[in-house]
């Protein structure tokens, strides 16, 4: 599990895609402090398992499933990627609970100045827009953000300068693809409500009436 608070921007040293998946090597420093083979690291929001590391790099083997669901297939040498080590039990959760399991990708439609912040507008696939709610949490390339607006399949988030300086979203251009993880709890609620064995009195009306929706 992760928090969506990026610890470091790594630089892609090598990314080799074959029929078996991708071998990915990233230059970094901060997250190497207590790293070990087998550890989990969130790379652009996707949980990856460390297979090798050195004094200035870390390496992963990425599955074909990850390539299919994420923007990893678009990664190129010298690209910046967001990195976060796994959550520890004594760490404050200043972002939100992020599993590192990407739901889908979204495309950047536009970026607008909004005071000292910038508002980013993305289009998300229709089947995932139901998990995005106004003022809810969403992870974009692994960054924990608050939904500023949602209309049909288009949502926006606002980033302040200090956040933009720390993450790779500042490098995005219109048409670029980002990894999206929607709210984990929304998916559990949907699963529960749609279960054939659900005999609880909790339903959409109950949740709305009590301020949960």
Architecture of domain 8-85: Beta Barrel (2.40)
Same fold, 8-85 and 104-182: yes
**What is the structure's pLDDT at 189?**
75
CA distance 16 to 119: 34
**What is the structure's pLDDT at 203?**
57
Q: What is the pLDDT of residues 149-170, one digit of tens each?
A: 999 999 999 999 999 999 999 9
The parts of the chain modelled with pLDDT lower than 70 are: 195-213
- Which residue ranges make up each domain of the chain? 8-85, 104-182, 184-213
- Both tokens of residue 144? 């924990």
Q: What is the pLDDT of residues 46-64, one digit of tens each?
A: 999 999 999 999 999 999 9
Reported CATH class of domain 104-182? mainly beta
């Amino acid at each position: 599990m992760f928090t969506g608070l990026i610890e470091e921007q790594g630089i892609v040293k090598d990314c080799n895609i074959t029929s078996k998946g991708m071998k990915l090597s990233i230059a970094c420093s901060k997250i190497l402090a207590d790293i070990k083979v087998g550890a989990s690291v969130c790379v652009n929001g996707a949980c990856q398992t460390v297979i090798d590391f050195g004094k200035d790099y870390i390496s992963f083997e990425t599955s074909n499933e990850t390539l299919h669901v994420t923007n990893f297939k678009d990664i190129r040498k010298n690209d910046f990627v967001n990195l976060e080590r796994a959550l520890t039990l004594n760490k404050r959760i200043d972002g939100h609970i992020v599993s590192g399991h990407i739901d889908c990708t979204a495309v950047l439609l536009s970026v607008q100045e909004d005071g000292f912040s910038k508002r980013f507008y993305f289009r998300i696939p229709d089947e995932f827009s139901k998990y995005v709610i106004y003022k809810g949490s969403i992870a974009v390339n692994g960054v924990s953000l608050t939904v500023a607006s949602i209309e049909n399949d288009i949502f926006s988030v606002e980033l302040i300068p200090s956040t933009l300086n720390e993450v790779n979203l500042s490098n995005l251009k219109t048409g670029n693809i980002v990894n999206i993880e929607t709210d984990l709890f929304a998916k559990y609620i949907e699963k529960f409500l749609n279960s054939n064995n659900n005999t609880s009195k909790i339903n959409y009306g109950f949740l709305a009436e009590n301020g949960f929706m």
